[in-house]
Every structure is written in C-alpha cells, then in structure tokens.
Amino acid sequence: MKKIIALMLLICSSSIFAEQVVTDFKPNFSVGIGLGSNNLNSFQLSGISDEVKSASFYLTLDYQFDEQWAARFQLSDICDYCGVSFSEYQNSIFTEVDYQSTLYGLDAVYKLPISSDFSLELTAGILLGDETVITETCTSNNRGFLGGHCFPDEPLTNNKTSSTEMAFSIGTNLKYQIFESWALQLGVSASNYRQGLTQTNFSVIYQF
C-alpha cells in the first residue's frame, strides 16, 4: 500500500512539474538586424545572362509560439547600392540592364536545441520579390568615357518595367544565445527565385 501511495505521489509531482515547465514558456517577439549576400545563379534578363551577387541588409521579425515553433518575416534586397548592372555589346549595340529587387519572406521556423547556448533552426516558406528593371540600348558613340553607361539623354531605347516574382525557400540557421535577450545568428537559404537564389546572412537578434 505504501508503494502504491508513493507511486501516486511521484506521478502527481511529475505531472505538476511537467505542467510547470510548459507554462514557464511565454510567447515572445524578436527582431534581427544584419548583413548578408544575395546570389542569383545563371541569371537571365532581357536576353543577357549573368551571375548577380549583391551585398544586402537583413531585417527579421519573429513570433515564437512555443519552444519549437515560430513564424518569421524577413526583408532584404538585391541592390548593391541600388542598382545591379550588367551589360552586353553585340553588333555595335550596347545593351545595359539595371536590376533591383526588394525581397519579402514569410517562413515557418522549427528550433532544435543543441546545448544551453546553441540551437539549430530549420526554415521553410515563401519569398516575394518586388522587382524594377531598366533596360537601355545605345551605340558605342553614345557611351560614357572608358565604356561607361549610356548617356542618359541619348539612348536608342529606354524601358522600365516593374514586376513581382514568387518562390519557395528552405534554409537553416545556427543561433548562439549570448545573454537572455541577445543572440547571434548565422544563416543560409536557397530558393527557386528566378533561376536560383542563394542567401547568406549574419544577424544580431534581440528578444522581447
């Protein structure tokens, strides 16, 4: 009888402790600011193929539902000081393309603790790109000194278009908790945006 009572007390105390552990977690927000790179592989636009590499700022906003799951909004760009340019010279005609895109991401995040300070995050979601493309053509006589841009007042054609592209993305992040509210994060993701986009970033995270 004593053993049965002791077992019941052990079960009750375990359930109370488990409930306490669950209720100890409080949903929270966190914001991250950092730098990274956006690389478009085998990028093709306006008949020109090139590889676009762009330095970028990163801004993230997370809502942590529980200890494992969170939702993340992220903002970055393909700009490289607001205008990634690539060009082609063919049949005495110079074609220049200025491309920039603001990238918006919405991800589901699953957290895997590695130790008390380190954790691994797996992400999956969608990526939207708000793109602006300016295409100009000119002859060699209407280019700037040493093969610069087309003169703004003398292009043969000047075309500006805006569009929205959508893609799916997956990624992983390694997170190091410095203090209770501060962390460092190193991340990489890949998506089918355009002909393939690889993103890397390093961020400082503040939780509140």
Residue 11 lies in a domain: no
DSSP-derived secondary structure for 178-204: -SSSEEEEEEEEEE-STT-EEEEEEEE
- pTM for this one? 0.77
Residue 125 lies in a domain: yes
What pLDDT was estimated at residue 4?
44
Residue 10 lies in a domain: no
What pLDDT was estimated at residue 173?
97
Residue 99 lies in a domain: yes
What pLDDT was estimated at residue 8?
45
Instruction: Please give the tally of structural domains in the chain.
Output: 1
For residue 85, give the nearest of 127, 123, 135, 126 by alpha carbon: 135
Residue 40 lies in a domain: yes
Q: What are phi and psi of 159, to 5 degrees?
A: -130, 130
Question: Domain span at residue 125?
Answer: 27-207
How many whole angstroms from its chain centre is CA 142? 39
Q: The domain spanning residue 102 has which CATH number?
A: 2.40.160.20
pLDDT beneath 70, residues of the chain? 1-23, 42, 45-50, 80-92, 140-155
Residue 198 lies in a domain: yes
What pLDDT was estimated at residue 184?
97
What pLDDT was estimated at residue 192?
93
